Amino acid sequence: MRAADVRQRASRGFVASGFEAVRNKLDARLLVDPIYSAQLAAYWKGELVVDLVGGPELDEDSVTGVFSSSKGVAGIVIALLAERGELDLDAPVPRYWPDFAAAGKEAVTVRQLLSHQAGLPSLDGGLRPEDLLDCAVGGARLAAEWPRWRPGTAFGYHSITIGILAEELVRQATGRRLQEIYETEIRAPRDIDFYLGLPESQEPRYRANVPIVPTPEQAAEIAGRDTPSDGLFGATFSMPYPAADGGPPIDAIWPNDRRVRAAGQTAVGGVGSAKGLAAAYATTIGEFNGPRLLSPTTVSQVSQQHSWGTDRVAPPLLGSFAILFQLPTHTNNFGSHRAFGHDGAGGSLAFADPVHDLAFGYIPNPMQYPGGSDPKALEFSRSILDCITTLRDDAPRT
């Protein structure tokens, strides 16, 4: 390879002194994969220490879809409501949302609902676009449904419905949309470049998510998966049906559907930059364009593990969930055991780590195999943590 090619493929942006290894790691990856692109950002002790971008599919100014990493940002909104006392995590859901009491769900707590324990990962008859685009529609259907398991006795990843459930709970409890609370109380006042509901004005910045480009081995693995569409995994992860009114189906790459990213559907429709994702988490553990959003006690409460074990929807995977947040495990070890965040189907990852005073954001494009827990996301997060450890040992920044 010529020197010019190497330069052309190198990342652009900034790393603080002591974080050069992170840039090197990203550059090494960009070199070997000519279509690979990524944004990578980190705040340490409230300061931006990594802000990199590279590859043809993302620029400094790009925003793109992060799929399930959206859920973590919704989790920050829930935490804010809990902090203020607007939402009691111990309350039964029907205290806020009376219709939810149907079909044996009267005792389901807010904690259970928001940690994938309610047994509503899919909808009988299938999800439709209007169910996810309007939480009042999807919420009404979910409120009527019998849970697949006794609530609280198991958990399983509610890949799409967790967003509908969180949104409708907030709407019933506060009279406001979760996305609106995020926009007006967190995003806009702190100038965070991550959106739950991408405004028209930002559309020119949107870079479409490019589908996974699997290797032959990966393609064979994907083709060999046997997941009947009527089983729990299939029913949970299938694309929605066409709309009842004959409207267009949801784009197979969810956030590429303007309706999904305009709604900012909290399970799958968030859009932003890696820096914006990291910034959203930075507000939770320190000052960031304003006072600290959450008290340490609230952080402890919402980041405490609520669900653990074999995921009922996606066995034999082991999962660990707090209130909407995903927690690190031995195979998804993105931070210390006090870290909380979420990854996304495209390979994105964002989290806050109170132990290391770190907020991290990463968004690749194209989407990366296998579609979550991108090994590269873990490598980048571990590289940053190594830099922090070295800096601490060598010269404490206080």
For a second copy, the binding residues (CB under 8 A) are 103-104, 111, 119, 122, 124, 146-150, 153-154, 227-228, 230-233, 235, 300-301, 304-310, 312, 315-316, 318, 320, 328-330, 333, 335-338, 355-356, 382, 385
Based on CB atoms, which residue is closest to a second copy, 157 or 233? 233
To a second copy, the closest distance from the beta carbon of 246 in angstroms equals 18
Q: How far apart are CA 221 and CA 205, in angstroms?
A: 34
To a second copy, the closest distance from the beta carbon of 355 in angstroms equals 6
**Dihedral angle, C-alpha 48, 45, 349, 177, nearest 10 °:** -100
Of 99, 88, 255, nearest to 163 (Cα)?
255
Based on CB atoms, which residue is closest to a second copy, 138 or 319? 319
Q: DSSP states of 242-302 as a string?
A: PPTTSPPPPPSSGGGSHHHHHHT-TTTB-EE-HHHHHHHHHHHHS-SSSS-SS-HHHHHHH
Based on CB atoms, which residue is closest to a second copy, 214 or 234? 234
Are the beta carbons of 193 and 279 closer than 8 angstroms? yes
- Name the DSSP letter for residue 183: I
To a second copy, the closest distance from the beta carbon of 235 in angstroms equals 6
Show Cβ contacts of residue 245 under 8 Å, excluding neighbours closer than 6 positions: none
Based on CB atoms, which residue is closest to a second copy, 211 or 309? 309
To a second copy, the closest distance from the beta carbon of 326 in angstroms equals 14
Based on CB atoms, which residue is closest to a second copy, 174 or 305? 305
Based on CB atoms, which residue is closest to a second copy, 186 or 235? 235
3-class DSSP assignment, residue 318: strand
Based on CB atoms, which residue is closest to a second copy, 9 or 111? 111
To a second copy, the closest distance from the beta carbon of 226 in angstroms equals 8
* Neighbour-count burial of 243, counting CB atoms closer than 10 A to its CB (0-12 exposed, 13-18 middle, 19+ buried): middle
To a second copy, the closest distance from the beta carbon of 222 in angstroms equals 16
Sign, Cα dihedral of 247, 253, 259, 260: positive
**Dihedral angle, C-alpha 295, 396, 17, 279, nearest 10 °:** 0
To a second copy, the closest distance from the beta carbon of 121 in angstroms equals 9
